[in-house]
Amino acid sequence: MDKQPGFMKALKCRECGREYPLTATHVCEFDFGPLEVVYDYDKIKGALTRATIESRRKSMWRYRELLPTAGEPTVGLEVGFTPLIKADRLAKRLGIRELWIKNDTVNYPTLSFKDRVVSVALSRAKELGFTTVACASTGNLANSVAANAASAGLKSYVFIPSDLETGKIVNSLVYGANVVGIKGHYDEVNRLCAEIAGKYGWAFVNVNMRPYYAEGSKSMGYEIAEQLGWRLPQHTVVPMASGSLLTKIQKSYQELTKLGLVTDSKYSVHGAQPTGCSPISVAQKAGLDFFKPVKPNTIAKSLAIGTPADGFYALKVMKETGGAADDVTDDEIREGIRLLAECEGIFTETAGGVTVGVAKKLIASGKIPSSDSAVLCITGNGLKTLDAIMGHVGQPREIRPSLREFEAMLESENKSAISA
């Protein structure tokens, strides 16, 4: 264990509160509950001000006192601080007064929010002396572990369902990672990885490194608040796979409030799932505080987790903050992707289509009032999931390199537009 824990105090069971040393472990030996990092907030309060943060470089590490490394980070120093875009055209289409897009489609280096969690997990893994890192992934995490491990000089193993989108597979292989395709869905990959993690001395970012890894998601919430001028948004819509990101958005808002970096204000955190894998949203809509596991069947493969580890906590956060959940079909996901692209020039992967589609439903139903302001967390890039929308966005018209043909084409299109 590292002797200098920085601003961390301990790992703590989210169920029974028992504390553990800051090692690579994720489960409470007393009740098998998940462990979470706890911090010395008094110490952080003395060290972290708005001015300090604003004086630092524009990456997620400008909030480093609130992230779980003992010393300075060593992996992913350029990750984060992605744009927060005021989306007026999309706001008009969805029927809401004010809308913002937190655009992690351009996160560095692998174009998804997973670079945030991996940056933390690998920095901490190096502090704890690991030389091999690994993950179970629906794709984006695999890309990020592969890339960040390569740049950090670490060996990596990434385990993915073998039927993932081609883009996500190539995006892991290119970095020289050991990519293992499992003939099964993510929950089966997860089970296998839990067994492998117990047997090999590797830093599995979402198994034995999970308490550190998951904290990286908080940086998305800190950035949203800072980019809004140090205030919390009234509504945040978050895609849910395991539900972890949603819980960490709430934690980030709570911490900023506790530290006096934002004024205490009411906020709601809402969750978005694809209908083909919607255990959390189904439970939320039914008013339950537990979910029923499902077998995923959706084009939103990055959200295809049928047994969401943080599902219970995500339901709790939505209840506590007055948030709601909903889910959208494959066609609605494609429509969401197109809406965001056509209105704001942002090409998101399927998870972003889910978030836009669900935001549309929540606004239409009044669960997000049209007079309010909302932030949509867009977590991954559309270039990675081309398979999902290929054939649904039209085809280019082909002509020979002739002005006459071009003009004939325009004329015929104008005619058909008029007759239509």
Partner 1 sequence: MPVKITVQEPLRKLLDNQPVVEMCGSTVGDIFRALRQRYPYFVERMTEPDGSVRRFVNVYVNEEDIRFLQNQQTAVQDGDEIRIIPSIAGG
| Chain residues that interact with partner 1, rule: CB under 8 A | 15, 25-27, 29-34, 114, 135-138, 140-142, 184, 186-188, 190-191, 193-195, 197-199, 206-207, 210, 213-214, 241-244, 290, 292-293, 295, 305, 307-310, 312
Query: How far apart, in whole angstroms, are the C-alpha atoms of residue 238 and residue 325?
Result: 9
Minimum CB separation of residue 355 from partner 1 in Å reads 15
Which of 19-26's residues contact partners 24+ apart within 8 Å by CB, and which partners?
22/68, 22/70, 23/128, 24/125, 24/128, 24/130, 24/203, 24/208, 24/209, 25/208, 25/211, 26/207, 26/208, 26/209, 26/210, 26/211
Burial of 377 per CB tally in 10 Å (0-12, 13-18, 19+): buried
Whole-number minimum distance, CB 244 to partner 1, in Å? 5
- Among residues 38 and 194, whose Cβ is nearest to partner 1? 194
Number of neighbouring beta carbons within 10 Å of residue 167: 18
Least separation, in Å, of the C-beta of 232 and partner 1? 24
Closest CA to 211 of 342, 36, 346: 36
Nearer to partner 1, 94 or 197 (CB): 197
Q: What does the alpha-carbon distance between residue 276 and residue 245 come to, in Å, rounded to a whole number?
A: 20
Residue 306 or residue 373: which is nearer to partner 1 going by CB?
306
For residue 392, the minimal CB distance to partner 1 (Å) is: 26
User: Looking only at Cα atoms, what is the longest distance across the chain?
Assistant: 78
Taking the complex as a whole, the smallest distance from the CB of residue 87 to partner 1 amounts, in Å, to 26
Toward partner 1, which CB reaches closer, 104 or 187? Answer: 187
Kindly state the smallest distance separating residue 328's Cβ from partner 1, in Å: 19
What is d(CA 122, CA 175) in angstroms, rounded to the nearest whole number? Answer: 16
The residue (of 214 and 363) whose beta carbon lies closer to partner 1 is 214
- Token pair of 71, please? 């010393």
Residue whose C-alpha is closest to residue 377's, from 83, 94, 63, 62: 83
For partner 1, the closer of residues 290 and 396 by Cβ is 290
The least distance separating partner 1 from the CB of residue 195, rounded to whole angstroms, comes to: 6
- Whose Cβ is closer to partner 1: residue 262's or residue 271's? 271
